[in-house]
Structure 1
Amino acid sequence: MKLEEAALKYNEQGLIPAIVQQHDTKEVLMMAWMNEESLRLTLQTSTTWFWSRSRQELWNKGATSGNIQHVVALYADCDSDTLLVEVDAEGPACHTGSKTCFFKKIER
């Protein structure tokens, strides 16, 4: 499916959530926000680009840390309001150094 055919639904800030998953293990690595420009750059470069809400700027994951995420596949969900980005990650996804950002298990 071409990007234009996906009819993606961005929120009021022009953003769409992107879940990043390791392509071979299916481990969820992180969640970040994309806008139209970061999605276009992701598709053009085959590396992940996101929109930083706190810094109000684009960022290429791994550009400074070396932990680049190479895009293997990109999917929109059934409602076209969330993205799943399958990647081959060169290093940890989390800024804490953890492989995944989802390491804080909440007990019931």
Structure 2
Amino acid sequence: MESIDNLKFNEQGLIPAIAQEEDTGEVLMLGYMNEEALRRTLASGEVWFYSRSRQELWHKGATSGNRILVRSVWTDCDGDTILVRAKPLGPVCHTGSRTCFFQQLNEDGTIVTPQDEG
């Protein structure tokens, strides 16, 4: 049986963590976890990340109330990415969108938000 010790954290001690809506499969956001954030996520049942810009642990939704409840946590086949199947309690993105992935990158290189399209 493998454990957290077998995961492949990068040279900064971080691992990408994808939050995915449990029922729909929609990708909610991508963040990074250090080992402590991952352990807190597993222990608390709520998602924790490590903020690369602030260089500190970040309890997702602690300020806004838009927490992400953990349903299950998975690793990929290489052990270098985490997938959190979750139930969001409100919008996940800091913009107020339910997901951070609401902009489309077109073939011509332009980025559009669907509601901007005619």
Give the TM-score category using the shorter length: over 0.9
Deviation, structure 1 residue 6: 6.9
User: CA offsets per residue over residues 4-30 of structure 1, 9 Å max, x none?
Assistant: 267100000000000000000000000
Q: How does 1:9-88 map to 2 (within 5 A)?
A: 9-88=8-87
Gaps of 5+ in 1: none
Q: Is the 8 A contact 1:6 1:76 kept in 2?
A: no
Q: CA RMSD in A?
A: 1.3
**Cα distance, 1:35 vs structure 2:** 0.3
Structure 2: distance between partners of 1:72 and 1:102: 21
Counterpart of 1:22, as a letter, is E
TM-score (norm 1): 0.95
SS at match of 2:29: strand
Higher relative contact order by CA 8 Å / sep ≥ 6: 1 or 2? 1
Which position in structure 1 is the counterpart of 2:97?
98
| Distance in 2 of aligned mates of 1:76 and 1:61 | 20
Q: Distance in 2 between matches of 1:9 and 1:28?
A: 22
Q: Distance in 2 between matches of 1:73 and 1:22?
A: 11
Whole-Å Cα distance in 1 between the matches of residues 77 and 5 of structure 2? Answer: 10
Give the partner amino acid of 1:100: T
TM-score (norm 2): 0.87
Q: Aligned partners of 1:6 and 1:25: how far apart in 2?
A: 31
Larger Rg: 2
Residue 103 to residue 80, structure 1, CA distance change in 2 (3 Å): same
Structure 2 residues not aligned, in runs of 5+: 108-118
